[in-house]
Amino acid sequence: MLNKNLGLLILLTFSMLDFSAYSQESGPTSETLNKIKSLPGVKNIQPAANQGRAAAGRGEVYALVFEQPVDHQKPDGAKFLQRVFVTHTGYDKPVVLNTEGYAAFGIGDSGELGAMLGSCNVVTVEHRYFGSSVPSPLDWKYLTVKNAADDLHAIVSSLKKLYTGKWISAGTSKGGQTALFYKCYYPDDVNATVAYVAPVNVAQEDPRFDAFIKTVGDEATRKRIKEFQIAMFKREAEILPLLHLNEADYSMGAAKAYEYGVLEYPYYFWQYALQPNNVPAPDASAQALADHYMKTNTIFYYSDRGKKQFEPFLYQAFTEIGYYNYDITDFKTVMKVLKEPTNLDICPPGTKETIAYAPDTMAFVFNFLRYKAQNVIFIYGDLDIYSATQMQLLGRTNSIKIVVEGQHHGARISSFSPEQKELLHSNLEKWLDMKLARP
């Protein structure tokens, strides 16, 4: 899953914050609060300056609730409330729009782009069907790329009545995908888009992931990973009891979840930059193998709790935005339980047999990004599993792609070469028509 650890951190963040009472009357009022409160779509707002470390010294911070149609094709139909956070520094200052792919962190952070812009406003939008931005009753069919882009368009259109400076949308991983999708449907809403480590898949189970797994890194590392997986399958009977799993936590069965977690291991390895020397040899003790396996904890995503947390993502993956499957060619003779593994097994209950992939969505996205999208920066790490489906540009637009050598899913501007930093800075300055700081 895209940025799986990030998803867990998001959920932990929300468990520490109290957003149960959005009251327009609570807390001190200000000119900004009153102006935002009067914007179209804003249903609730409250000061949020005490709700996170990122607020310190950054101006006024507000937690907003926007009312959105569940289906933007039926604007007068059912509604839901979407969580948005705004950090205000000035109405004419630039705005960094954080497009989340999951729940929102809270007040958000302008990050590397904010350091370049100096004083800027920050708008962080929680993705529909995640966090508290979930329609009730929940009907999965309205969780679409287009509806999510429509959400962003409504929010940005409203906030632009106050914030007249340049707008930059930015997102990481699935949030980067969200920024790209928004760009495709509303290309003129923002002045520039920066998508960090965002795959552009073109199939429900994109085969390019398999090719990447077989070629990424060096042969010795790939061999070590595969030997570890084979050992985990062969020695399943002695390792599984050492994990001390509660069978009740795995409705698919603990053994089945265990084997899925082993198949997931190389994807986790290349996403999160594990060190080859830390991968146990196949003849290591059963306890050493078990300890390493549980340290990565890939089995979590096949537990009932893990499946529940990532249901919206899996639904999106298998209906529109694509994902990967597992090549079991080298494992068929040693796997004990799984016969035809597919991550459809962890889609929302009741959807596996009826879920249908709509190829037109990503075909539109891919072609728009390739032939029409202007002012987009794609950032990837060359060792990241999600670089398997990185965007392929033809030079038909002014968009640029920067692939950072030796980087995984954490590829950031700070890891760029001097030449790559200059390429990014010079293009952003041109697109925004403003001077940027060189951090």
Residue 49's pLDDT band (boundaries 50, 70, 90)?
low
CATH of the domain at 422: 3.40.50.1820
Residue 2 is predicted with a pLDDT of 65
**pLDDT, the chain, mean:** 91
Contacts of 99 (CB under 8 A, 6+ apart): 125, 127, 152, 169, 170, 171, 175, 176, 178, 179, 182
pTM: 0.92
**399 is a domain residue:** yes
Domain-terminating residue out of 346, 377, 395: 346
Residue 30 is predicted with a pLDDT of 84
**218 is a domain residue:** yes
Q: How far apart are CA 434 and CA 439, in angstroms?
A: 16
Q: Domain check: are 35 and 104 in the same one?
A: yes
Residue 356's pLDDT band (boundaries 50, 70, 90)?
very high
The torsion angle over the Cα atoms of residues 209, 215, 220 and 226, rounded to 10 degrees, is 30
**438 is a domain residue:** no
Model confidence at 24: pLDDT above 50: no
Residue 51's pLDDT band (boundaries 50, 70, 90)?
very low
Percent with pLDDT over 90 in the chain: 86
Q: Domain check: are 196 and 70 in the same one?
A: yes
Residue 58 is predicted with a pLDDT of 64
Q: Domain check: are 154 and 231 in the same one?
A: no
Q: Calculate mean pLDDT across residues 415-426.
A: 97
**352 is a domain residue:** no
Q: Domain check: are 25 and 171 in the same one?
A: yes
Q: Domain check: are 38 and 181 in the same one?
A: yes
Are the beta carbons of 411 and 384 closer than 8 angstroms? yes
Residue 27 is predicted with a pLDDT of 40
Q: Domain check: are 230 and 372 in the same one?
A: no
Domain-terminating residue out of 346, 372, 402: 346
Q: Domain check: are 232 and 365 in the same one?
A: no
Q: Calculate mean pLDDT across residues 315-322.
A: 98
CB atoms within 10 A of CB 288: 14
**437 is a domain residue:** no
Q: Domain check: are 329 and 421 in the same one?
A: no
The string of pLDDT tens digits covering residues 205-231 is: 999 999 999 999 999 999 999 999 999
Residue 376 is predicted with a pLDDT of 98
Q: Domain check: are 149 and 19 in the same one?
A: yes
Q: How far is CA 294 from the centre of its chain?
A: 23
Q: How far apart are CA 228 and CA 205, in angstroms?
A: 24
Q: Domain check: are 298 and 392 in the same one?
A: no
The string of pLDDT tens digits covering residues 357-397 is: 999 999 999 999 999 999 999 999 999 999 999 999 999 99
Are the beta carbons of 45 and 117 closer than 8 angstroms? no
Q: Domain check: are 143 and 70 in the same one?
A: yes
Residue 3's pLDDT band (boundaries 50, 70, 90)?
low
Domain-terminating residue out of 295, 317, 346: 346
Residue 4 is predicted with a pLDDT of 52
Q: Calculate mean pLDDT across residues 269-281.
A: 96
Q: Calculate mean pLDDT across residues 400-423.
A: 97
Model confidence at 6: pLDDT above 50: no
**355 is a domain residue:** no
Which amino acid, residue 217?
A: G
Structural domains of the chain, count: 2
**439 is a domain residue:** no
**146 is a domain residue:** yes
Contacts of 215 (CB under 8 A, 6+ apart): none
In SS3 terms, the chain reads as CCCHHHHHHHHHHHHHCCCCCCCCCCCCCCHHHHHHHCCCCEEEEEECCCCCHHHCCCCEEEEEEEEEECCCCCCCCCEEEEEEEEEECCCCCCEEEEECCCCCCCCCCCHHHHHHHCCCEEEEECCCCCCCCCCCCCCHHHCCHHHHHHHHHHHHHHHCCCCCCCEEEEEECHHHHHHHHHHHHCCCCCCEEEEECCCCCCCCECCHHHHHHCCCCCHHHHHHHHHHHHHHHHCHHHHHHHHCCCHHHCCCCHHHHHHHHHHHHHHHHHHHCCCHHHCCCCCCCHHHHHHHHHHHCHHHHHCHHHHHHCHHHHHHHHHHHCECCCCCCCCCCCCCCCCCCCHHHHCCCCCCCCCCCCHHHHHHHHHHHHHCCCCEEEEEECCCHHHHHCCCCCCCCCCEEEEECCCCCCCCHHHCCHHHHHHHHHHHHHHHCCCCCCC
More confident residue, 140 or 19: 140
Q: Give the lowest-confidence range in 57-66, 262-271, 377-386.
A: 57-66
Q: Which domain holds residue 120?
A: 4-202+360-432
Q: Domain check: are 299 and 255 in the same one?
A: yes
How distant, in Å, are the alpha carbons of 68, 182, 188 from that of 147? 10, 10, 17
Residue 111's pLDDT band (boundaries 50, 70, 90)?
confident
